[in-house]
């Protein structure tokens, strides 16, 4: 209505003034139109800008939450590794406190036929040249390493044993009975795959000694 009123006003004046009046009206109309267009253009831009900022803010929040979750996962993984480390250390400590069971080499864990010949003696019970045959069985358990000496399938004697770098050392406690009180020591220092050789020393109750050569071969029984 304002634009139409300006046209009516411009009709009642001279031609020059009318031209100036119309020119002014056109300028005002153009400015108003440009202002409207500018508003129409800016409003979507402002809305789009606000939406973009909100989207960026949401993305930043999501990225922050993701980083926090990753940090929490890493922290949980670290705690789990610490617990595993503590468990392993405890297992090692327990293992170290448990006595280790020493065993004979696998090559010895068979029955052996023994052949013993008396080589030296100052005992009345043993004569040089005497021969004896027995069966030896190397075994071990939680109490230690030992060797059973069998005769007629019965255990006749039990030696405590040690396996050193290049020899086997066997030792029996004194055997006390009404007839004897002796101590026997065996050193096997020639160890091959199918034959083991050494010396057995017998100490009698009157401190006499008798020495036997010992030869062990795998038992065929």
**What is the Cα gyration radius of the chain?**
55
Give the confidence band of 180 by pLDDT, cuts at 50, 70, 90. Answer: low
Lowest mean pLDDT among 8-12, 75-79, 198-202: 8-12
- The total of other beta-carbon atoms located within 10 Å of residue 71's CB is 10
Rounded mean pLDDT of 92-116? 80
Q: How far apart are CA 4 and CA 14, in angstroms?
A: 18
Q: How far apart are CA 101 and CA 146, in angstroms?
A: 12
Check residue 178 and give its pLDDT.
Answer: 40
Q: How far apart are CA 209 and CA 195, in angstroms?
A: 26
CA atoms within 13 A of residue 17's CA, in its CB half-sphere: 7
Rounded mean pLDDT of 19-24? 57
């Amino acid at each position: 209505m304002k634009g139409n009123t300006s046209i009516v006003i411009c009709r009642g004046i001279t031609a020059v003034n009318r031209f100036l009046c119309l020119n002014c009206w056109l300028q005002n109309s153009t400015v108003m139109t440009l202002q409207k267009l500018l508003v129409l253009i800016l409003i979507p831009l402002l809305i789009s800008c606000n939406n973009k900022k909100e989207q960026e803010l949401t993305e930043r929040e999501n990225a922050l939450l993701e980083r926090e979750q990753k940090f929490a996962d890493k922290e949980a993984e670290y705690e789990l590794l610490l617990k595993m480390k503590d468990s392993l250390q405890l297992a090692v400590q327990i293992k170290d406190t448990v006595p280790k069971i020493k065993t004979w080499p696998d090559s010895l864990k068979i029955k052996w036929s023994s052949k013993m010949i008396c080589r030296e003696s100052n005992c009345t019970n043993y004569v040089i040249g005497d021969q004896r045959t027995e069966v030896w069985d190397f075994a071990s358990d939680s109490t230690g390493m030992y060797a059973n000496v069998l005769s007629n399938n019965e255990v006749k004697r039990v030696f405590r044993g040690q396996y050193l770098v290049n020899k086997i050392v066997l030792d029996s406690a004194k055997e006390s009975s009404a007839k004897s009180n002796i101590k026997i020591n065996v050193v096997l220092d020639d160890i091959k795959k199918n034959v083991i050789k050494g010396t057995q020393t017998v100490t009698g109750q009157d401190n006499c000694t008798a020495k036997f050569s010992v030869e062990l071969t795998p038992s065929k029984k």
